[in-house]
Amino acid sequence: QDTLAAAAERTGRYFGAAVAAHKLSDSTYVGILNREFNSVTAENEMKIDALEPQQGQFTYGNADRIVNHAIQQGKDVRGHTLAWHSQQPQWMQNMSGSALRQAMLHHVTQVASYYRGKIHSWDVVNEAFADGNSGARRDSNLQRTGDDWIEAAFRAARAADPNAKLCYNDYNTDNWQHAKTQAVYRMVQDFKSRGVPIDCVGFQAHFNSGNPVPNNYHTTLQNFADLGVDVQITELDIEGSGNSQAEQYRGVTQACLAVTRCTGITVWGIRDSDSWRASGTPLLFDDNGGKKAAYYGVMEALGGD
Ligand code: G3I
């Protein structure tokens, strides 16, 4: 029986899933994870609030359960995420200015050093751009420390784990026409031109009727790749069901396969019931762990059987 991981690997890519540590005791869940996926992302366990709940006190237990499971099973790990305006512990939410900048860089250095050699790709910075038409940075306590906070985070991550691929990760950056997409593109272009260490751009790819898979998706991925970075689909889920959902999953997979530097796809959960979305059926496996039409759409696009 073919699997997503095996089919993706034959194209030189990985196929991953977001994993929650507390589900590693669910045998249906772990059975699918071990069989179908060769990359994992911690859904919440490597966020700042999880790893540094008190300033300077790091708690790696739940993250380690996921990383150790992945390593034992021969899977890669995507690290998510070192610097973000959200999921900050209370102490960080209360900080600003140079103290916050220092605390953020200390967090990046500590965590990336702790996991040095174990992480395939790090989402160094997550969701730093505003929605809408401004093309501006998102306002946040980190952004208010100065525009250069993003490159400072990337430099700290490179110093701490020189062999990990360092990614910028965001959502609603799928449509090439959108101002947010263009703004991220310009930042990556600027980083490449100035030698700021960046290796990859993550496209979260949370799709629904208000944010459908754009028909220029391949163009977006290719344009970023042409800047000299890898691109990865990092948090894929697509609202819907049946054939229409399957066709959209097929299209996203084909868009990645059409771009040499699109190195892998991660879905944001395993069964529909594992999704962060409060309702709906956005994933590849049904609540019982059965393969959906969406699964076969991906599998066919990967050339599997
Ligand atoms: O663990 C606590 C639990 O103890 C408590 O009783 C319960 C009550 O609300 O909350 C639990 O924590 C929740 C956590 O998920 C674990 O289930 C948080 O409230 C909830 O906010 C958190 O949501 C996560 C969300 O990120 C937070 O920003 C989702 O699981 C996770 O899927 C989602 O993932 C994000 C990516 O990191 C970034 N891109 C978007 C994506 C989807 O929103």
- Report the residue among 40, 41, 43, 84 best suited for mutation to probe ligand 1: largest number of ligand atoms under 8 A from its CB: 43
- The owner of tokens 């102490």 is 91
Q: Is the CB of 43 under 6 A from ligand 1?
A: yes
Interatomic CA distance for residues 256 and 204, integer angstroms: 13
- Helix and strand element counts for the chain (H, E): 11, 9
Mean pLDDT to the nearest integer, 171-185: 97
Residue of 43, 45, 127, 239 marked active site: 127
pLDDT digits (tens, 9 = 90+) for 236-295: 999 999 999 999 999 999 999 999 999 999 999 999 999 999 999 999 999 999 999 999
Tell me whether residue 127 is one of the annotated catalytic residues: yes
Mean pLDDT to the nearest integer, 26-45: 98
Closest CA to 302 of 69, 22, 3: 3
Q: Is the CB of 272 under 6 A from ligand 1?
A: no
Interatomic CA distance for residues 250 and 238, integer angstroms: 11
The confidence score (pLDDT) of residue 47 equals 99
Q: Which residue has the CA at smallest separation from atom 12 of ligand 1?
A: 44
The confidence score (pLDDT) of residue 157 equals 99
The confidence score (pLDDT) of residue 130 equals 98
The confidence score (pLDDT) of residue 87 equals 98
Strands annotated E in the chain: 14-19, 39-42, 76-84, 121-126, 165-170, 200-203, 206-207, 230-238, 262-267
Tokens found for residue 3:
């699997």
Q: Is the CB of 235 under 6 A from ligand 1?
A: yes
Mean pLDDT to the nearest integer, 196-210: 97
What percent of the chain shows pLDDT beyond 70?
100
Interatomic CA distance for residues 69 and 39, integer angstroms: 11
Helix boundaries (H) for 115-257: 149-160, 179-194, 217-225, 242-257
The confidence score (pLDDT) of residue 252 equals 98
> Which is it for strands 230-238 and 206-207: parallel, antiparallel or unpaired?
parallel
The confidence score (pLDDT) of residue 77 equals 98
Are 276 and 43 contacting, i.e. CB atoms less than 8 angstroms apart? yes
Closest CA to 287 of 262, 260, 269, 268: 269
What is the value of pTM for the model shown? 0.98
C-alpha 69, offset from chain centre: 19
Provide CB contacts within 8 A for 110, sequence distance 6+.
52, 58
Instruction: For residue 73, count other CB atoms closer than 10 A to its CB.
Output: 14
Q: Which residue has the CA at smallest separation from atom 2 of ligand 1?
A: 44
DSSP category for residue 272: G
Q: Is the CB of 87 under 6 A from ligand 1?
A: yes
Kindly indicate the confidence band of residue 15, based on its pLDDT and cuts at 50, 70 and 90: very high
The confidence score (pLDDT) of residue 198 equals 99
Phi, psi of 259 (to 5 degrees): -115, 115
Quote the mean pLDDT of the chain: 98
Q: Is the CB of 39 under 6 A from ligand 1?
A: no
What percent of the chain shows pLDDT beyond 90?
98
pLDDT digits (tens, 9 = 90+) for 114-165: 999 999 999 999 999 999 999 999 999 999 999 999 999 999 999 999 999 9
The HSE-up count of residue 118 (CA atoms within 13 Å, CB side) is 19
